[in-house]
């Protein structure tokens, strides 16, 4: 049975893949863009730590208690969503050659991550932590969109 622990574990994997993606991207661009991607990678690493502490917190709650406020359909949807929409984009060793294409890929992943985390937020008893991560992901999305817009001018 899939539970909240499994979903948070998926979130850790999303953030770890995001960290790798932004780290690789930072090495492919000039200094100013590199700083942006290094900052994004560091924030993804912070999110990994946050989700890991959530894992520890919720490991102490029995699966029965966790399953009373989340249904299997939602958990199955979220896992499928991550596997189909997020992981194929960021679990790649290939970073697009054109920075614009890499930014578009990163924007797609950030949008999908926001959707995923928004759904998880509905499942967790303490929404504050997930809400902060969603705000940061939205900030990433805005930063990346602005960067893409500037490059396309």
CA distances, 146 to each of 27, 45, 84, 131, 150 (Å)? 20, 22, 26, 23, 6
Return the pLDDT at 10: 82
The CATH code of the domain that includes 22 is: 1.20.1260.10
- Each residue of 82-111: pLDDT tens digit? 777 777 776 666 778 888 988 898 899 889
Return the pLDDT at 33: 84
Record the tokens describing residue 28, joined without a space.
């492919």
Return the pLDDT at 70: 53
Looking at the 3D structure of the chain, how many domains does it have?
1
- Each residue of 28-68: pLDDT tens digit? 888 788 898 999 999 999 999 988 988 888 777 655 555 54
Return the pLDDT at 7: 76
Return the pLDDT at 17: 86
- pTM, two decimal places: 0.80
Return the pLDDT at 1: 40
Residue 146: give the domain boundaries.
4-151
Average pLDDT, the chain: 81
Return the pLDDT at 81: 78
Return the pLDDT at 88: 73
Q: How would DSSP label each residue in the chain?
A: ---HHHHHHHHHHHHHHHHHHHHHHHTSS-HHHHHHHHHHHHHHHHHHHHHHHHHHHHHTS-HHHHHTTS-HHHHHHHHHHIIIIIHHHHS-SPPPSSHHHHHHHHHHHHHHHHHHHHHHHTT-S--HHHHHHHHHHHHHHHHHHHHHHHHT-
């Amino acid at each position: 049975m899939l539970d909240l622990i499994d979903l948070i574990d998926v979130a850790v994997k999303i953030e770890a893949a995001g960290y790798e993606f932004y780290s690789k991207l930072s090495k492919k661009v000039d200094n100013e863009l590199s700083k942006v991607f290094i900052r994004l990678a560091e924030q993804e690493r912070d999110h990994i730590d946050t989700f890991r502490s959530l894992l520890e917190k919720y490991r102490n709650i029995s699966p029965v208690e966790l399953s009373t406020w989340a249904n299997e359909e939602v958990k199955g949807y979220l896992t499928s969503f991550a596997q189909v929409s997020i992981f194929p984009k960021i679990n790649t060793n290939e970073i697009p050659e054109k920075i614009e294409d890499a930014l578009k890929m990163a924007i797609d992943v950030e949008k999908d991550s926001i959707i995923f985390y928004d759904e998880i937020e509905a499942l967790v008893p303490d929404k504050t932590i997930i809400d902060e991560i969603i705000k940061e992901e939205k900030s990433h999305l805005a930063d990346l969109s602005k960067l893409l817009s500037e490059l396309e001018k």
